[in-house]
Structures are given as C-alpha cells and as structure tokens.
Amino acid sequence: MLNLDEDIAIDRGMTQIIKSAVMVIGGGEDKVQDRKILKAFVENCGGSQACIAIIPCASREPDIIGRIYHDIFTDLGAKQVEVLDIRERPHHDYPQAEALVDRFTGIFMTGGDQLRLCGLIADTPFAITIAKRINEQKIVLAGTSAGAAAMGYHMISGGSSGESPHKELINMSTGLNILPEIIVDQHFHNRNRMARLMTAIAAHPDRLGVGIDEDTVAIFEPNHILRVMGRGTVTVIDPGEVSYSNQLWVSGSAPLTIHNLRVHILATGCKYHLLKRIPISPSV
Amino acid sequence: MLNLDEDIAIDRGMTQIIKSAVMVIGGGEDKVQDRKILKAFVENCGGSQACIAIIPCASREPDIIGRIYHDIFTDLGAKQVEVLDIRERPHHDYPQAEALVDRFTGIFMTGGDQLRLCGLIADTPFAITIAKRINEQKIVLAGTSAGAAAMGYHMISGGSSGESPHKELINMSTGLNILPEIIVDQHFHNRNRMARLMTAIAAHPDRLGVGIDEDTVAIFEPNHILRVMGRGTVTVIDPGEVSYSNQLWVSGSAPLTIHNLRVHILATGCKYHLLKRIPISPSV
C-alpha cells in the first residue's frame, strides 16, 4: 500500500495546494457533461493553481487523446496543462526526471494499451520519480483505463470473460508499481471482469483485487483510505482468508477452486481501509 | 435447505435403487460425447432400473426437447422414460399426483423459460408431491437451465449483465421451492452473471447464492452436502456476514453497496456443507 506518512510531507509551496491522492479511474469517465471525476482531479491538483502533465503514451493516437484531455483540463480551470508525448523510453538521469516531474502538481495517464504504457515508462527514473513524489504527497496521479490497469506491481494485461475462472483466462505482466499491493481491473462490471480479477487474485493472494467500473474512480488517499466516487461501483476482492485454492497445480485450462474470497461492492461515497482491510460503513 | 434426514427414508423397493439427490445443472450439459452429467442422473435414478419422467414444459417446443432427452436417457440404459407434456396446470388431487409421481425414480426438468415452468406447475399437488418425495429420499430431481433456475423459493426470472450491481439488473419471481434456502443462477460465468446473483442475494440475504456454469452440476445430496461435477465451476455467494448494504433504500437504478460477501469458486469434485456454510477441502 502507499506508504503515506503525513509527517514526511515537506512543506513546499506546491504541496500546500494539492490534495495528494492516486485516482484510479475505471475508464469511460464523463468528458462532456458534469465531468465530476476529471473535475475532482483538477481540484486535487490545486484547481486554478494546477499544473498538469498528460501522459498519453498508452494510446496509439497520443496526439489526439492528449489534445482531448488538454482541452478538458484547461476548460476546467487548470493553470497550466502540458502533454508529455513520450514515444520512446526517456533517457533522463534522476536530476532531469525530478526537474521534469516537479514542474507539475498532477499527472494524468490516459487509456490505450497498458503494455505500451509500461513498455515506455516503467522502471525509468521518470516513473520512479513519480512514485517517489506520490509517497512524499507532492503530486496527484490519475490513470484511466490502461492508465488505471498499470497502477499495481502485478498487472492484468489482457484476458477474457464468459468462462469459468481458469489460469488461461488472463495474461499477467508487470505494472508501474505505484500501488504495489493491489491488482486493478477496469471497465469492471461493464466488461464482466469479475472472473478474471478473481483468477488474478488466486495467483497472487498476497494482493488485493480492485475492480473499477466505468465513470468511477477509486481514490487512494493518505491514511490508507480508498474512497469511491462516480456512477458505478468499486469491487474489492480480498483473498486474505482464502483457505484453499488449486491454483498452483491445475493446468491452465482447468477451472479454479478458490475457497473464502471476501468481496465488497462499494458505490459512490463508500470508503475502504486498505491496511485494516475493512469497508467503512457510510454512517461511521 | 433440504430436510434430508436419513432416518426417515422409508424402506420401499424403489428407494433401494436410487441415490437421492437434487441435481441443479447450469445448462448446456454435454448431450453428445461423455454425457457425464446426464449419465450420473440416470445412475442416481437406479441405472437399468431407472424410471424417468421428463418435464419439458419450460420450453416452447416441449415435444422436440422432450424427445431429445427421452432418447438420451433411453440410450443411457434407463428402464423406462416418459415425457410428461404438461401444457396447462394439472388438476390432480393429491392421491392422483402421488400416484403419478410414485411411478418414477427420477424427474428431469428441461430448459426454456423458468416463468413458464413455474406458471404451469408451481404450487400444484404434482409439484408439492415431488418436493415431498425428495424430502423422503424417494426420488431424484434434476433441472437444467430454466429447470435449475426454478429450484429455489426466490427465482431470478430475468436480468442483464455488463452493468454495476443495481436492483433493476434483475427480475425476481417465485420458484418451485424445492431448495428454498438457495437462489440459483445458471449459465453462470458463461453469461457473466456474477453481478446479477450478487444483486439477488443483496435483496435476500437470508439465502445462499449458487451460480452454476454450463455443463456443470451442483448436486444437493443428503446430509446437507453440495457436490460439484462437470466442466465448469459452481460459485457460492454467502451473505451470512454482510455487515452493510444500501439495498433497502437506494433507487432501482442506483449502484448497490454490499460489504462482506463471502464467495467460493468450486470446481469438479469440490464439496460444500450447506448447513455449516463452509467449503470442504478436497483432502478432507
């Protein structure tokens, strides 16, 4: 989980204005009407003081998608918006990467292909600096669709639905390691991905599965709180009590057995405590 | 749950040969190759001594579907197979219904529309006698697809997938009340029905959700054991620990919040104790 210790926040001008968070968006967020999620991102980044970088490199049409978000964030009142059109792995050293990242209060990763996104930036000083600045609560990071899928250490890079859970239902890869303890799936109920996230979690029972519906965001806030906002739900799959699974020895095509998954369906306004692994009732 | 008390089994010739059970089949069972599930049904009904009634009235083409199963069960060695082509609610009194039911060691309900099936036979002396004979361990009952959906008291009569869980995702009706404590969903992972079964269970947290994949059967055996057989999985959704749900007060289109569902995915060979509500590890 994010090691967000309030004590280590360094008192700089920029960190005063942002509401540090990682916003993991399930794709298909409203870009036309209320734009609640994108508006919340801009607000978290400092509103009229926000300096936002867009990373569109998951997409095969980065200039088009970059331009779309550029116009939205500008329209929503951000002070400065820049598209970082990364088309090959950046060769920054750490001082260069830090100088780049520190120009921004927020970074937004678009949809596309999570393998492409990770192939271009995972494990670069640029991505490692972003993770560091998040831990220092100096920046806000948002990712939608592919940009959401890449948040974990383990990443679902592809898969199917409409079949019993089995190992060949999914392809796993390595993500950006921003939120190492979770495995994200997006377009979750919209694309019927419960079986594939359960399959991923069966293979990695030390992680927490987080399935995010379209136009919905799981906001990872300081103090280990996941907060839900948006039109759909966030599904948390907790394998902490799994007492039996055949995952290790069955063939890839054989159906899985998994005993004792704990599942929470969380609609807008709900909170979940990531360290205690308990949902927080709305009245509390 | 089935009140199957071994002591009450009456010693009649017929009950000696059958292996009392309710076989809830997720639809799409193999009818051509190994026919494992249908073969197991005939075996449970007494094998070469089996007298089987087919109830095809869920289907709009009961003569065609009835003929198909008639030929399969005959081919699998049943002694006698009869299609009960019920096209209006039967007007038996109890002695007539008992005389009819007692001619058979097994009854098989086909697929089609579960509303049609229940509309024709629910709450008739015929259906009530079947339930009674099951409790007395004198008969085997199997249902596939619609015939499976109708097993509970609460029945999912329709619904969608590809959306966040919300009340309008499903239509509920009343089933045959053979297994009152469960809500069945079939074609389960094949048609991505996890969200709809979770939605149904949120509305009826005193029941147990049982989602059955195609070519897979949940066999409800005496002593409160559910046993899985077939190509896919049986998913058990246990709301016994649900600590919070907004089900009662949100509008039909609003996403549901449900805390602490317990979910088990069970592949062939797995058992689940219905009274203790625990899966039994394969090694036990």
Can you give the pLDDT at residue B20? 84
Can you give the pLDDT at residue B15? 62
Pair type for strands B80-83 and B170-174? unpaired
Can you give the pLDDT at residue B231? 98
CA dihedral angle for residue A248, residue A253, residue A257, residue A262, rounded to 10 degrees: 90
Can you give the pLDDT at residue A283? 65
Residues 6+ apart with CB under 8 A from A121: A55, A57, A86, A89, A90, A127, A176
Q: Which of A181, A167, A205 is nearest to A24 (CA)?
A: A181
Quick: pLDDT tens for A180-219.
999 999 999 999 999 999 999 999 999 999 999 999 999 9
Strand order in the sheet with B80-83: B80-83, B51-55, B106-109, B140-144, B22-25, B216-221, B225-230, B271-273, B278-280
Pick among A190, A241, A242, A265 to test the B interface (most B CBs inside 10 A):
A265
Block mean pLDDT (10 aa), chain A, length 284: 38 67 98 97 97 98 98 98 97 97 98 98 97 96 98 97 97 98 98 98 98 98 96 98 95 97 98 97 67
Give yes or no: A164 in active site: no
Quick: pLDDT tens for B75-102.
999 999 999 999 999 999 999 999 999 9
Mean local confidence (pLDDT), B234-239: 98
Task: Choose between A122 and B18: higher pLDDT.
Answer: A122
Give yes or no: B145 in active site: yes
Q: Give percent of chain B above pLDDT 90.
A: 91
Residue A234's DSSP bridge partners are A212, A266
- Please state the domain extents for chain B: 6-275
Quick: pLDDT tens for B208-227.
999 999 999 999 999 999 99
Give B281's contacts in chain A (Cβ within 8 Å).
243-244, 259
Contact A279 B243 (CB under 8 A): yes
Whether the CB of A165 is below 8 Å from some CB of chain B: the reply is yes
Provide the number of CB pairs (under 8 Å) joining chain A to chain B. 130
CATH topology of domain B6-275: Rossmann fold (3.40.50)
Mean of all residue pLDDT scores within chain B: 94
Residue of chain A whose alpha carbon sits nearest to that of B230: A255
Q: Please name the member of A231, A233, A246 whose beta carbon is closest to the beta carbon of B267.
A: A246
Can you give the pLDDT at residue A13? 58
Give yes or no: B214 in active site: yes
Give B256's contacts in chain A (Cβ within 8 Å).
233, 265, 267
Whether the CB of A270 is below 8 Å from some CB of chain B: the reply is yes
What is the rounded CA–CA span in Å between residue B162 and residue B201?
A: 18
Can you give the pLDDT at residue B2? 42
Quick: pLDDT tens for A241-276.
999 999 999 999 999 999 999 999 999 999 999 999
What is the rounded CA–CA span in Å between residue B48 and residue B78?
A: 5
Q: What is the residue whose two structure tokens read 């704990």?
A: A262
Rg from Cα positions in chain A: 18
Whether the CB of A195 is below 8 Å from some CB of chain B: the reply is yes
Give A231's contacts in chain B (Cβ within 8 Å).
164, 255
The structure tokens listed for B10 are 């009456």
Catalytic residue among B59, B145, B157, B245: B145
Q: Please name the member of B192, B213, B260 whose beta carbon is closest to the beta carbon of A192.
A: B192
Can you give the pLDDT at residue A110? 98
Contact A194 B194 (CB under 8 A): yes
Task: Choose between A20 and B118: higher pLDDT.
Answer: B118
Quick: pLDDT tens for B172-186.
999 999 999 999 999
Can you give the pLDDT at residue B13? 58
Contact in structure between B67 and B74 (CB atoms under 8 Å): no
Mean local confidence (pLDDT), B117-139: 97
CATH topology of domain A6-267: Rossmann fold (3.40.50)
Quick: pLDDT tens for B1-14.
344 333 333 344 56
